[in-house]
Structure 1
Amino acid sequence: MTDVLVLYYSSYGHIATMASAVAEGAREAGARVTMKRVPELVPEHVARQAGYAIEPDVPIATVEELPKYDAIILGTPTRYGNMAAQMKNFLDRTGELWSRDALVGKVGSVFTSTGSQHGGQESTILSTHVVLLHLGMLVVGLPYTFKGQLRMDQITGGSPYGAATLAEDVDQADRRPSHNELHAARFQGRHVAEIAAALKSGRSERREANVA
């Protein structure tokens, strides 16, 4: 069975909702899915004052466990067109894994949330892809076989780089992931899991052939 990690950071719950949809899609493809979050850097009392969605039931990931997964799907909100500091801090601690090529050949993918239509969702995903490539991972996006990203009848996040949702300011009417955005997230999770499974099967067949 293919092991998929959905690893995310969520301040107000938008990414957490998308992460659940990504995980659902990966499970549809037959993967064993683990959902974890990266550590929070904001003091708890500050996070509560700011209205952050606290998720005590979601376990916190460790860098050391990453190599055991066949695919890692990252979810991060946008911060000035880049990933959130919490996600960057976590990824910056993978130096030891990088030094021994521990993630080379693993499948990597990214989804995001932005505060406006042009809030940097594409640059956030693309800049996170750069980190995955430095780690030797195989980057998978959201192909145009998901036709929902071509819709023109509604505001929607998402691009060939990965699924996305648009989140209005929490002080205003708080927009949650739409049906189309959640569909994109499920599609991406399923797509990643299918590719990871195919790669794992091919590698297993090659090892068996070499032994024979």
Structure 2
Amino acid sequence: MPASILLLSVTNSRFMGAMAVSAAEGAGQGGAVVTVKVLRGLYSVAQQEKSEREPLIPEFGRPEDLLEFDGVLLLLRDANDAARAVRFMKQAANLPEYKQFVGKVASAFFVPGSGSIDLEGRRKELAYEMMKLGFLAAELPYRFLADNNLGDTDEQSMAGPSLVQLVAARLHARHIGALTTRIHVDPYFRSELVG
């Protein structure tokens, strides 16, 4: 049975939907089966109506969903999304079965070009929350520079992601998919990582 990954995206906008598809394909190339869900958050009425007409990602992720998968990949845009992801991980810590997270892979991918603010502090905070739960926090050893910047305007989000952003999501997810598959298949490797 192949490893399974829960891919949590921040919205079901067209832009993030395309990023989620690219990441899901990458994780599949890494040998994992991927399920895509959305992190709950605050949406404007116009966004809610639009997402009801064009659902790109069908359902919201719940902390209990983390128990069913071998790994989790968070697909994020900015510091607000990171704060929602941290809140989600803190909710998962309240589950009675939270010890089942030990040895599972978790990673956060921030879309390149997400803005001028430094996301490194948020990335570290999110990794810390993941590790507190027992997840193996995995990162790529390099960063991507985007050829376009993301904004909150509808014109930019309707334009879709650049090729660099799509490839970055695919490569990151492929790395996470391959690592999750290796841990899933080889219990000795998992015991070495967990300690």
For the aligned pair, the TM-score class normalised by the smaller chain equals 0.7 to 0.9
Secondary structure of 1:4's aligned partner: strand
Closer, same or farther in 2 for the Cα pair 1:53/1:5, shift >3 Å? same
CA RMSD in angstroms comes to 3.2
1:140 to 133, 138, 141: 138
Q: What are the residue-to-residue correspondences of 1:170-185 with 2, within 5 Å? A: 170=153, 173-174=156-157, 176-185=160-169
1:187 aligns with 2:163: no
Q: Quick one: distance in 1 between partners of 2:154 and 2:190?
A: 55
Secondary structure of 1:187's aligned partner: helix
Contiguous gaps of at least 5 residues in structure 2: none
Partner of 2:146: 156
Q: Percent identity over the alignment?
A: 26
Closer, same or farther in 2 for the Cα pair 1:98/1:196, shift >3 Å? farther
Q: What are the residue-to-residue correspondences of 1:1-212 with 2, within 5 Å? A: 1-10=2-11, 12-42=13-43, 46-48=44-46, 53=51, 55=55, 57-79=57-79, 83-85=82-84, 87-97=85-95, 100-113=98-111, 117-144=115-142, 149=144, 156=146, 166-170=149-153, 173-174=156-157, 176-203=160-187
Q: Quick one: distance in 2 between partners of 1:116 and 1:205?
A: 35
Q: How far is the alpha carbon of 1:26 from its aligned partner? A: 0.7
- The amino acid across from 2:169 in the alignment is A
1:4-24: CA deviations, max 9, x gaps? 110121274433322221111
Closer, same or farther in 2 for the Cα pair 1:205/1:187, shift >3 Å? closer
Q: Quick one: distance in 1 between partners of 2:6 and 2:163?
A: 23
Secondary structure of 2:100's aligned partner: coil
Q: How far is the alpha carbon of 1:185 from its aligned partner? A: 0.6
Secondary structure of 1:93's aligned partner: helix
Contiguous gaps of at least 5 residues in structure 1: 150-154, 158-164, 208-212
Name the larger-Rg structure.
1
Secondary structure of 1:196's aligned partner: helix
Secondary structure of 1:184's aligned partner: helix
1:62-84: CA deviations, max 9, x gaps? 2112122111001223136x714
